Amino acid sequence: MSMASQGQFRVAEGTVTRSETGQTIPNPQRGPQTAAGMTSHRMVILTEGCTSPTRAKTAACIVRYRPDDVLALLDTTCSGRTAGELLGVGGALPIIGSLDEVADADTLVIGIAPSGGKIPQAWRPFILEALRRGMSIVSGLHDQLTDDHAFVAAAEAHSGQLIDIRRTTERECSQFMGFREECLRILTVGQDCSLGKMLVSVELARALKRAGHDTKFVATGQTGILIEGDGCPIDCVVSDFVSGAVERLILRNQDHEILIVEGQGSLVHPKYSGVTLSLLHGCVPQGMILCYEVGRKTVHGMPHVPLTPLAKVRDTFEMMANLLGPSRVIGIAMNSSTVTPEETEMERERIRDEFGLPVCDVIRHGPDALVDAVLNLRRERMPHLYV
């Protein structure tokens, strides 16, 4: 069971953190503002009209990493089918057409992460119905539930909770100091957005834990926070303070041996390069895992923009990272979900030959090659720990 299923959490100072007392803490301005919904074991995930691996990536990741906590997906356009059929994960988890089919559900989670982060108008009736049932609503979208008068009124009338993962008050710049030398920081970076950086981060962190290493997955986006139970949604932090917010995440968690930091966007994505650079300079990684999707030719959401070649992406990340400290790409994570096993192996061999680095698809091959790369870097950077 993931850490998100243990204990209570609260939203405070722009991050989601564990409550020291284990109690929910209300926001005096906006009513109950807790992350308690992340601890629910009776969740329904709303994916209305969007139940596909790309459009419902938040839902797919929650189903993958918190399967015991999800009762169903809610999508009237494909009710009667299963998550396994449409998302490729979740097996027989049902897709339902009405909340009446899961009377014991206590939380409705918004299961998409669209560009712009708006709540679809067609989803409002589902949210209001859930609130009338006294359920909590958990959203990681930029549209804030607690800014919507109808949602607030329904929540107050029926004792529901509105939980905005992306509500933040971060207002501190990076100081570039205080990093613990014996904590290895690894950042997942990408050729593009929406190609699996979070999934690679979670799989790598969990594999390192299984191997006996004290490792923490550091979530920087809504889905990662829902899985891990803490983190900071950096794409809604004011630009001056993004690197500071990331630095605070690192300082708060650097009692661990290894931090695997979830990457966002890409330095070569016209829309998201700013947050990517601030994340890079906020966490000052000693090593990076470069992620890409096999067969993708254009920038996600911008079909008129060709992808930057992978080698140039690697060089760009290394150049920008090394402005603040020694850092390099130590492995490559491929997303081969759209190609055959045979095509995957041919591509894997090609990338190995071109870059001279370990390459794997963490789902198809497992993350062991990347685990070895991380541990080799740790031995190189911290040899005194292995004497």
**pLDDT (tens digit, 9 = 90+) per residue, 204-215?**
999 999 999 999
Do residues 291 and 254 touch, judged by C-beta distance below 8 A? no
Residue 28 reports pLDDT greater than 80: no
User: How far apart (Å, rounded) are the C-alpha atoms in residues 202 and 221?
Assistant: 12
Q: How confident is the model at residue 39, as a pLDDT?
A: 64
Residue 26 reports pLDDT greater than 60: no
User: Which residue stretches of 229-386 are H helix?
Assistant: 242-253, 273-283, 310-321, 341-355, 368-381
Q: What proportion of the chain, given as a percentage, has pLDDT over 90?
A: 85
Q: How confident is the model at residue 318 (pLDDT cuts 50, 70, 90)?
A: very high
Q: How confident is the model at residue 173, as a pLDDT?
A: 96
Q: Which two tokens stand for residue 19?
A: 């409550």
Task: Name beta bridge partners: 45.
Answer: 73, 109
Do residues 62 and 90 touch, judged by C-beta distance below 8 A? no
Q: How confident is the model at residue 303, as a pLDDT?
A: 96
C-alpha distance from residue 254 to each of 183, 185, 203, 215 (Å): 6, 9, 19, 10
Q: How confident is the model at residue 113, as a pLDDT?
A: 83
Q: What proportion of the chain, given as a percentage, has pLDDT over 70?
A: 90
Q: How confident is the model at residue 54, as a pLDDT?
A: 84
Q: Which structural domains are found in the chain, ordered by start? A: 3-164 (3.40.50.720), 184-386 (3.40.50.300)
User: How far apart (Å, rounded) are the C-alpha atoms in residues 344 and 342?
Assistant: 5
- Determine the average pLDDT of the residues in 218-241: 94
C-alpha distance from residue 340 to each of 190, 211, 294, 335, 337 (Å): 22, 30, 11, 12, 8
If you count them, how many residues does the chain have?
Answer: 387
Average pLDDT, the chain: 90
Do residues 221 and 233 touch, judged by C-beta distance below 8 A? yes
- Determine the average pLDDT of the residues in 131-151: 95
What is the per-residue pLDDT across 54-87, written as a single tens digit (0 to 9) for each? Answer: 899 999 999 999 999 999 999 999 999 999 999 9
pTM summary value: 0.88
At 276, the amino acid letter reads T
Q: Which two tokens stand for residue 333?
A: 């994570």
What is the per-residue pLDDT across 104-117, written as a single tens digit (0 to 9) for each? Answer: 999 999 999 877 78
- Determine the average pLDDT of the residues in 151-175: 94
Please enumerate in sequence order all residues whose Cβ is within 8 A of that of 264, keeping only pairs 6 or more positions apart, or say none: 193, 197, 220, 221, 234, 235, 272, 275, 276, 279
